[in-house]
Amino acid sequence: MITVEIPILLRQFVAGQDKIIINTTKSLSLLDVVKHLIHDHSGLRPYLIAVNEQLPNFIAFYVDNQDARYQQGHNTPVKPFTTVNIVLAMAGG
């Protein structure tokens, strides 16, 4: 089981849920976790996958509180009983 915490701005695409559980007993790459989410919740696609089918630069993904950009990026392993946090970039001034 992998837990993905959904930011409030994306909850409209997952029926208001704040967490999505991916039932698996094997490790997945971060990209595979995101693709699994998109398979079940297609409205997330434009936000979580770039046109090159990779993770977009403007969203940070944390795997057990570690920024995936400083690990293995989209290849960061996500083991069962891990939590993935999606953090949307904020702009303003």
Tens-place pLDDT, residues 17-48: 999 999 999 999 999 999 999 999 999 999 99
- Contact criterion met (CB below 8 Å) for 2 and 76: no
Q: What are 56-72's pLDDT values in tens digits?
A: 888 999 999 999 999 99
Q: What are 40-56's pLDDT values in tens digits?
A: 999 999 999 988 888 88
- pLDDT value, residue 91: 60
Nearest residue to 66 (alpha-carbon basis) of 30, 20, 14, 18 = 30
* Domain at 2-88: CATH code: 3.10.20.30
Cα of 85 vs its chain's centroid, Å: 6
- When pLDDT is averaged across residues 65-88 and rounded to a whole number, the result is 95
Domain ranges for the chain, please list them. 2-88
Residue 93 has pLDDT above 60, yes or no: no
